[in-house]
Structures are given as structure tokens and as C-alpha cells.
Amino acid sequence: MYLSDQVQNANTLFLKCINNLNALPKPADEGTLFVGSMLDGFFGNFLGSYHRGLDAEAKQNALNVELQSAIAAVDQLEAALLLLPKVAEKYSATLSDSAGRIVVDFNESWGDSGPNDWLVLQNRGETLKDCTIVVQLTGASGKVRKNVHFLETWPANTSMWGRYQSGEEVLGRTVEKTTVTHVQELDITIYSPQFATQIHYVYQGAEKDKDIAQICKDLSFQGSYQPYQAGIVWDTQRGVQLTLNGVSLLPQCRVDVAFRKGDQSKVWFWNHDSWMKGETKSFNTPKGGLDFDPDRIDFEISFPYTNYKYKTTLNVDTESGK
């Protein structure tokens, strides 16, 4: 009863804050400031409307006061929900093997895949009632985030989707943060009167490499060789230009470029924070560093926290130098 009261009180406080926010004066055409805010879990994504409301400077303080109260209510709600697994465990079946009953798939936000991490749990067993699911994510730095989900009914052969966000900075603190940076592993516990299990899922490694390979399946580049050109003031050194195609964005990456001709080879690498579709990047060798015109140029693009590498070769027309 105590847990139920905590959740109800937090929800009541949050809804009161939302009603107050809706009642505050807003700029023109902002009448839908918080419509749909309950769509995502208990409190939803109200930040977009909040930021739009701040466009009217005179209304900022009033919005901030109510938002502080709403954030406090969310904190209370989250604290209450984290008590739910203790109650669920008490009335749950004994933990057993999940093999063949629960299938796990996790996809981390990467490149142009979107801003959120996603977890899919497929129930291949019987229908579960009053099902509590605890998902603990561990990041590369060792930071941990625990999320609690509740399904009144989880039918057989259906999937549960969990969305995890990196959060936003609001009023000096991070809100709506439900994931960690560079997810390494997930520990999942499922409680219900019919079935209970624990699953340790390692994401860093083969699973993550597979996801990134899927995102990059259409990745391609257009390249052109830059031959040496003597100048009056300075010389243009040998190099190559690459234009990204196929995907809208690559995140932080390292590009290794190998200039080759017969048994001659020179290799350099460059680091880039990001790379947008249609953007051309130049890879110019240092003065005197490359003393031959290559007949082929090998590229290897790698990314932090994954073994996936993209490799391609640009063949150079030795007659035209392109």
C-alpha cells in the first residue's frame, strides 16, 4: 500500500504541475504546450514544449518554478518505482532458465540511427501477468542506470520495447536520462507469478559490431587523388579527397590512408569528430612525405568502442593522375 501511495502522490503532484504549466500565459500558438506529455511512461517528454515556452522571456520565471516542481515529482515517482522490484520478487515465481523463452536484442544510438537506445524483449513462452522487468545498463566508464518497467499482461509471442534516452540539461541538472554512455552490458530481471528469470546480455563486442555493420551497409565514398603540384609560393602536396555517401552521418572516427605503388607504401591517419553525407574531407600528406604517385589508395575507417572497420580502395589512373 505504501508503494501504491507513493506512486499516486507523485503522479498527482506531477499532473498538478502540468495543469499549472498549461494555465500559464504562453506565446501565440503555444496552446498545445504539454499535449501528449503522458505518452512516454509516467511523465513523458515535456522538454520540447518547455523550451518553446522559454522563447517568451517574460514568462520564463513562472515556467521555471512549475518545472522545478514537476522535476521533483518525477524524482519522487522514480524513487517509488525503484521499490517495485522488491515487492514483485516477493510474489514472483522462482528464478529459472530463460533459454527459449525470452529473446533479447539491444541497439545503441550510433551515427544516424537516432538519439535513443532501444531494448527489445520477446516473450516466446506463456502469457505473463503482473510482470515487472528490471533493466540495468552498464557503461564504458562503469556507470550504471537501472530502469523499471511494468506490464499488466505480456502476451505470448509479443515483444516489449524499452526506450532509453541520454537526457537533457534543464535548470542546471540532467533530466530524462535513462541510459549510460557506450553501453557495455545489460542485466535484465523478469518477475511475474508465472515465470521469473535473470539474463546477462553482453553488448560490447560482437553484438555492437553487428549493429554498426548494419547501419553502415550502404556506406560508400567518392574519391579523387591530388597529385603533387609545384607552386610559386607553396607546393600542393600529394593527397586524396573523400566524399561521404550512403549514410547521413558518421560519428567520431579514425581514417587510415595507405598510398601504394608496387612494393612502395606510405600510411597516415586522421581523426574526425563527425562526417556528414555529401561532405568532402581532404587527406593531404606532409611536405616531402610522399615521393611517388600511387596507383591505388587503401582506406580503413574505424570507430571508438567497436571492432567494426570499413575498408575500401581507390584505384588511381596513373596516366591522368586521378
CA distance 238 to 321: 10
pLDDT band at 100 (very low <50, low <70, confident <90, very high): confident
pLDDT tens for 34-86 read: 332 233 444 444 555 555 555 555 566 665 665 666 666 666 666 666 677 88
- At residue 191, the 3 state secondary structure works out as strand
Reply yes or no on whether the pLDDT at 313 is more than 60. yes
Q: Which residues contact 61 (CB under 8 A, 6 or more apart)?
A: none
CB count, 10 Å around CB of 139? Answer: 16
pLDDT at 167: 76
Query: Residue 156's closest CA among 117, 199, 195?
Result: 195
- Average pLDDT of the segment spanning 118-141: 94
At residue 99, the pLDDT reads 87
- Lowest mean pLDDT segment, chosen from 48-52, 158-162, 308-312, 316-320: 48-52
Confidence grade of residue 10 (pLDDT, cut at 50, 70, 90): very low
pTM: 0.74
Q: Phi first, then psi: what are they for 124, rounded to 5°?
A: -100, 10
Across the range 311-318, mean pLDDT stands at 90
> Which residues touch 256 (CB under 8 Å, ≥6 apart)?
267, 268, 269, 299, 300, 301, 302
Q: Distance between CA atoms of 115 and 109, rounded to whole angstroms?
A: 6
| pLDDT average, residue stretch 155-170 | 87
Q: Would you state the pLDDT for residue 8? A: 45
318 confidence band (pLDDT: 50, 70, 90): low
Are the CB atoms for 106 and 203 separated by under 8 Å? yes
What is the C-alpha to C-alpha distance for residues 159 and 178, in angstroms, rounded to an integer? 20
> How many of the other CB atoms lie within 10 Å of CB of 254?
14
- Residue 243 phi, psi (nearest 5): -115, 130
Average the pLDDT over 204-220 and give the result: 96
pLDDT tens, 14-24? Answer: 444 444 445 54
Q: Kindly state the average pLDDT of the residues 244-263.
A: 96
Please check the confidence at residue 235 and state whether its pLDDT lies above 90. Answer: no
For 227, phi then psi, to 5°, come to -75, 165
CA 266 vs. chain centroid, Å, equals 36
In terms of average pLDDT, the best of 50-54, 172-176, 244-248 is 244-248
Closest residue by Cα to residue 253 from 306, 189, 174, 181 = 306
**CA 70 to CA 81: how far, in whole Å?**
16
Determine the average pLDDT of the residues in 282-291.
94
Provide, rounded to the nearest whole percent, the portion of the chain with pLDDT above 90. Answer: 58
Looking at residue 13, its pLDDT comes to 44
Angle, in degrees to the nearest 10, between helices 60-81 and 2-23:
160
Mean pLDDT of 107-127: 92
